[in-house]
Structure 1
Amino acid sequence: MRTVSMLLLVFVGCMSESHNGNRSARAKRELLLRSKRRWVLSTIELKEETPGPYPKIISHMFNDKKDRNSERQRFKLSGTGVTEKPLGVFSVNEETGEVYVHKPVDREENALFHLKFEILDKDTGLQIDRELSIDIDIMDINDNAPTFDKSRYTADIKENSEEGYLPVQLHATDRDQSGTPNSNITISVISQKPQQPVIALKQIDDRMAWLTLAGCFNYDKTRNYEVIVQAKDQGTPPSSSTAVISLNIVDTNTHPPVFKETKYKGEVLESTKGDVLRVAVEDKDTPNTPGWRAKYFFINGNEDGAFQIETDPETNEGILSVLKEMDFERTSLLELQIGVKNEETLFVCKDKSTGTNKLPPPDSVTVKIEVIDINDPPQFKKEISHVYQREEESPGKLLFTPEVHDDDSDVNNIRYVLLHDPAKWMGIDAKTGQIKTIEIMDRESPFVEDSIYNITIGAIDDGKPQATGTCIVLVHLKDINDNTPRLVNNHVIMCGNKVNKVMIAAGDTDDHPYSGPFMFSLRDDDGTLKRLWKLDPSIGEEGGLVSLKTLPYGNYTVPLVIQDQQSMRENSTLGVTVCDCGEASVCRRKEPLSTSGGASCIAVIFAGLLLFLLLLLIFMCECGKKTFHHGPIAQDEGNQTLIKYNQEGGGAESMTKPVLPSIPTNGVPVTEGLKKATRQVSEKDTGMITKKDAYNTQNMNLNNSKMGAYQMDSDFRGLGRQNRYSSWSTNRSNSFHQGRGKRYQRSLSLQSQQYIIDHIDKKLPMLDGGHVEYPQYQPYKYAYEGEGSTSQSLDKLSIGNLGDDLQFLNDLEPKFKALGNICHRAIQEKEHAALKNTAGK
């Protein structure tokens, strides 16, 4: 039984293994199944700039599905050069699959073309097979020459440039395919003018090179170099290009400065400073450059620093000057050695034999300085002396006695003076130089600084010329308690809405211990202040004023007593303003009384204006209804034209004076020149007329001016009727101007018919007589004017009853007395003058 079971298991295993082996073999066969290639494309090789003719076949396409259904399929080509820029380069024959190129290709413009091949159904346009993509690399030819980034280079090269690299870098490029002989560049120098020194190239890589120098430049010989360089590739055939390099040589210090003289001499006055002499050098380098500008220095003889030498920037000369005063008694002759060099370091080209460039020593010169003796001023034993004195001392106290010596003059002949005494507190003895006070000295004076009063005295000898020595005397003033403490500010502000306390500061011009801290107290006789104020703190540099109750806003006066440490007291009055403050401790301003209105106020204003205009219109309408009665308008009213008065030509003027009475008017004012009056006249009265006519026939100028004067007052008694009066005007004027140089002016009064008849009747008798040559000189008969004046005649007045008594003249009115005094004074002056004239004769 056990054996049968074992056989069954072996059998089942064999069957399972057999089944698995068959499946694995089938899978291997499917994996190794060979697939036939569907696309066949010949090799595409295209060289740039290929010559024509075009189009030219470059390849042929084939697909195995095309062979079975050749009538229903077509080829399609797309990609760069077909459907993408550059367009029109490639195309394909849809039937045969031949690929064409239509124009030359520049590899530097398009080095790669990406094409896509497709086979489509002609009817549906669908792809029959998958598309095929291919990249076409353009084969390079040597059609581009290497070029420099510039065709011409310009550089400034210093004359003192060392051998080796020059600061000129060259760059060259080639557009041909990199990594090929067509783009490998060699840079070299092909010419140089002038030939020396030698300028070469050091190529760093196939794109960059540096200029190099072998030798030294000489600015004096050549100032410009021209170098031609070439960039050449290794293509077949090779291509090349050139560039020009212009080198401008900049002058540097290649010539040392040399003194023009070998020795110099100078003189300097004793005890003086300033310039002594100038030294000059010669330099062949370019002027006003660092290699030309000289720098002078002392080699020896100026160890104590008494001299200084500077360079004049214009002339390049050295200016020797004295910084410290010379003393003839110590030395009368000095010898200096001065050297010179340039601001820029001297450059020397290397010696070809030794290969070194050793610099020559700088040029030098000897300068001899002679010291000239002069009169030395007197010398004080101490240039600054200190004296101590208490302030407010009585004048006349001796403060200082100087000690002076003079090597050139007699000390007894020295004269002393005060050179500086701003407060005029001192007096000095001209012989001894003793200083005494002549005024009381005050430590708090503005002339005293830090308790020290500064005095300067001078000692003048009798030499030629005179010399003056000076000494400063510092008087230290000791303080006394001679000043009372005072308030720093006499008025303070207390913000009543914030605090009830303000700080008050005091000060004292005296020094410690005669100043603060101070003691503050209220000067209160009746105790009123202590109910309103208190002081807290009351001792210190500042005191605190505290209000004990809420005070109304306003101004208050607080009497204070301030004492210093020595109980020196001062009565002061402090003004305090209690007010409402804003953010800062500043009283707010009172807001002005104002009223703000809106549209209603504007409406009220406009309504008022309209009402005013309405009332004005009503008033004008009412006034327009009234009838105004004007006086009679004369027919000869003036034309209101300007009158020309400068017509001086003339004929004889008629002097005839006809009498024409004026016409009375009703209630019209009379105007005579500048006088105005209203005259009344009876209708039955006659008048007196004055008339003047002038006529110029040459200028056609007629002037007629008339003045009428008529006044009479008559009483018609017993006629039983009321007199009738009228007022009339006596002046009327008309002016008329016509043409050039013609003027007519007249003054007439309108006449009534009655007056005209009277005028004619008066003129008729004149016609009865014979011809009179000058009628204006004949007797003239005036009209009867009635009774004489009813007033008493002056002839009837008499003062005979007064006799010879003239005492009334002594008591005249004040006005007459003033007149009499004036006349009397004039009479006295005339009599006095007459007496003087008589005495003189």
Structure 2
Amino acid sequence: MRTIITMIIILFMTCVVADSAHTKIRQKRAWIIDSFTIEEECPGPFPYILGTVNLEKKFWLRYILGGSGATMNPKGVLSVNDYTGEVLVHKKVDYEEFKKLLLRLEARDKNDRVDTRLGIEIKILDINDHAPAFSNKYYETTLNESVSQGELVTTVSASDGDDPTTPNGTFRFTVASVTPKTDNVEFYISQNNNTGSVYFKGCLDYEKAKKYTVLIKATDNGDKVQLSSTSTLVLNITDQNNHLPEITGHTGPGKIKERESGVEVLRLQVTDKDRQGSPAWKAKFTLIGNQENYFKIQTDPKTNEGILTVIKAMDYEEQTSKNVSIIVENEEPYFFCKVKTRTSQGLWDVETRSTRSRTGVLILPKPYLVTIAVEDVNDPPEFVPPVRKIMIKENSLVGTLLDTLTVIDPDKTYGNSFHFVKGKDKDNWVSVDSKTGQVSVAKVMDRESPLVNHSTYSVIVYAVNKAQPPQTGTGTLVIYLADENDNVPLLVEDAVSMCLSDEKTMTNITAVDLDLPPYSAPFHYELLEDDQMQGKWKIEPNHGTTVNLVRETPVYAGHYEIKIKISDNQGYGLVQKLSITVCDCSSKPNCHVRSFISQPSLSSSVIMILAFLLLLVILLMTLTLCKKQKKTMILSDDTPGNLIMYNIEMPGTDCKVPSETAHLIQSSVKMSNGIFRQHSMLHNGSTRGSYRQNKYDMKVFSPRTTSESMSRNCAALYINDTYIKKILSKRLDQLQTLEVELCDYEPHCYANE
């Protein structure tokens, strides 16, 4: 810095000389005098002569002083005698504010022209007037008592306002005092420039001192006088686990009953010298020899006791007692430190113990042994095996022996006398002998029953012993039913429909069989044709579950009924009737869909009366329309080659029955037939009945009771049915001839008459 200032002064003087050259007045060469020094805070007396500026002069000169300390801050510190050149000091200068004073001295002649310019540097000498100052006057930190010696406690820092290049501006840290003073700890400071790291030697002990107050001193290295200051460090010690917990005893029954769980067995008492409620005091228990997980142990948070509980039922017949060991630790790992030898250099010689540390002596908790007794109680009987599986054919005879159940009593001190009781048996298919445990068929079993799930039927059986209180064992009997060919294939739908067409048409028919393979699909279909149906229908292919019913030749619109024999894979089958509806789909796309639904909720008499009245109304409307229909006929003369125009497709009646009326007639006839068939079945005996098997293995409806009065009603219904059918047949014969369609569509021209 001094070199830089000197260069600036030289440059300034050079600039002045260059500027004076323009005046063309001879002047002396500028030069720099030696530097002066002033000691800061010099007490005086003032003013005193700092020095004299000597110039070689042969004529009179006047001196003028300017710059810092004279005309600039700090003003009034220096002055110069105008005629002698003596530099005078008038007051104190603070080194911490101004470390140097740079001045400019001019010498002027009697004409007030500058003869000489000089630069003066005055250095302020520092004195030890500042003590080291700490960054903080108070420090506070916390350490666990288990921290090992040599651990950093905290770091302090300080600064000194004096010149750091002199002893006045440098300082050192020391520990001035420690409160309380204990024999187990010593604090020391390691310094690095203006910072100091505080460490400790020995062993911290919460029981000896919960808090330390350390006074730290910073002292400078002044030659004449040494100044210092202090800061306070408060070190709080937290209690750690330096005392091992110990199980002192236990309370409780120390025994359990077999098959008992969730019951408290023992309570273990623990002592610990660490601070109550702290993690160093709270107990943590571990069970040894509990591989079967019969027990668990928990800590009572209030008393710090260990609560031993049985969580898995034990069997007296397997073991009458159980030995377990218990160890207790704390939530925090155990740590112990003891000072053996104090040394002046380096760390002290200490002894450490820990349950987890890699250094020092490893401490293992001492196990506490307890014995738990198991008491015998009355055990329930046990089925061997618990689930018994039996295979039997369906439809086996009543009384057939299925199996004999086996039960044992595991008790050693109780008797083994027991009896059997049947539990869940949804349809009472089996009977169980209460003494022998024999299971027999009580009712014919049907594999196709809705109570059977995947060919299995389950029965629950209980075995009850005679002890007090009695105990019950549960067994399951799973009956696998082997299938028999006791069902024939049946049509899924017994009515199909087709559209009227000159081309070959077909529809699907499907059959199902409740039996399993090989007593079910594939089915064989055989069409039984009579003279009227000969060559009109065909089934292809004739094997499978779903086949095609093919109309090979054109037929008229109307209803047809064919007979089909459907046999299963074993040739077991039945002849069934299939109803076919053929209608004109071009005029009515949905004409082949049935337009009525039977209403079984209405009474039979009301339905018959309404149907009969409806038929009479339809017949009257048809006759009226036929009479009122205006005939349109173009008669030809006898000239050969003339065509005769008809309003029907062929000569005959020209009565046109509206398509709506014809459809209503057909539906009504079908409804009437269905109504009388239903009432013939429902009133053939009683309203209640059951299904039975006939000699053809077909399930048919069979009445349970027969009422004489109901028989008379059925006869009356049969007579009415026959009478109405005769009337309808007679009326329909009057409207159309055999195999001639009703006039239910508009006439049209043919290519060839």
Report the TM-score, using the length of structure 2 for normalisation: 0.48
Larger radius of gyration: 1
Looking at both structures, which has the greater relative contact order when contacts are Cα pairs under 8 Å and sequence separation is at least 6?
A: 2
Report the TM-score, using the length of structure 1 for normalisation: 0.44
